[in-house]
Amino acid sequence: MTPAVAAFPLPGVATPAPRIATTAVGPPSIDRREVVGIDELAPLLDGRWVPYVNLDNAATTPALQSVLDAVTDLLPRYASVHRGTGYKSRCTTEAYERARRVVGRFVGADPDLDTVVFGKHTTDAVNTLAQAVVLPDDAVVITTVLEHHSNDLPWRKRARVLHVQATPCGTLDEDHLDELLARHAGRIGMVCVTGASNVTGVVPRIHAIAERVHAAGGLVMVDAAQLAAHRPIDLRPHDDPGHLDFVALSGHKVYAPFGAGALIGRRDALGAVPHHPGGGTVEAVTLTDVRWAELPDREEGGSPNVLGAVALAAAVERLEAVGLERIAEHERRLVRHVTTRLRALPGVRLHAPDADAVDRVGVVPFTVEGIEHGLLAAVLGHEHGIGIRSGCFCAHPYIAHLLGLTAADVLGAPPGRLGAARVSVAAYTDQCDIDRLVHALTAVCDGEIRGDYRQLATGDWVPRRPIADLTA
């Protein structure tokens, strides 16, 4: 049965403004009609259905119609890639290798010096690099407090890891980075830095950082999972002091949620033995010897996710067509609007640097006095049809820094108790989405929580029973 669209106003919430762009934000940089599922309805606890508002884009973006079309178009000719001589295999191989060229071009890779290795996502890409890159035996790896765990934990298995601290306001402490580079010059294996924080949206000066790292004799790797959908990326020529040696990104964060990601970077820094050997990684095998394949084949063991790679390529081509600078400017206006509206609400505290002083992508972390972040997210979802994220966002040290917590606080807390709420916008987000959020948060700050919720052992909050049961 198709649910009926709910009549506004929502309980305790002012009637949302009509979906007409205003001077505060302007029109979205990606037409909302391009977003698959943009008109999806969400059920509320009282039995009604309302248009869903997705403000959890930092976790996963929805698919674009052009991405879905690219996958659908390939499916009739889908087959195995490489070494197949049949028509469908040739079509699939060409689509896969074209996707590799498109993704490399998207970040400014040099096709002669760089390689594009497809995998599952950014976490997979970083793990691949951590195992495959050639490092001296006494190498030091430097990462930062701002990182997602995926740009920290894989390196702890490979080398001694040092962490650049954050400033009191939450930006990268470049003075501390300089201290670490000077202290360990000549032994710097890799410096791993986020291109944009998934917690605060802070965008470090990655090319300036690369210059310093190269001067100290190291390589630089940028986790571009959050950056790729929001800002242009340019590896720059290899002889440029600000060249980025490696970047990693995920399709599911750039409007291509089909299970693919990529590691892009210099061929000469990767070892000759694959980290995940198997089918497709070899040229010849005997019972005693192996001749490994060239890159990227030797780092793509097994049958690849062709459809995911094609989807990723279609997504970044669409972003290029729209214009990353145009997307960036729209999201800057959104962040200013969100932060201005949230600051005006009683009890709301923001946990990120001022967007007018620091370059940030569209991520806004906050807490509300007197209500746990997980309960807040549950109320917004179950009572208002708004999706946000809550918790530590796979960045416990950074959250601890922003919230003033100690390591003992983090390790001693039950699962899911520590953290914040996070709103994250995208190229298709408009002012009406933000207004819906502010209306809902106003109700919550006024104490209007209509459901009866319980907290699970995981820290998640769930309603005990529908609101309709409580008011019957």
Residues carrying an active site annotation = 394
CA angle (466 as vertex; 370, 441 as ends), nearest 5 = 35
Structure tokens at 280: 């497709």
- Assess whether the previous peptide bond of 397 is cis (omega < 30° from 0): no
Distance of CA 391 to the CA centre of its chain: 15
φ/ψ region of 27 (left if φ > 0, alpha if ψ in -120 to 50, else beta) reads beta
Answer yes or no: are the C-beta atoms of 336 and 329 closer than 8 Å: no
Q: Which residue has the tokens 């780092």?
A: 299
Cis peptide before 111 (omega within 30 of 0): no
- Token pair in block for residue 354: 């001022």
- Inter-residue contact 33 to 27 (CB < 8 Å): no
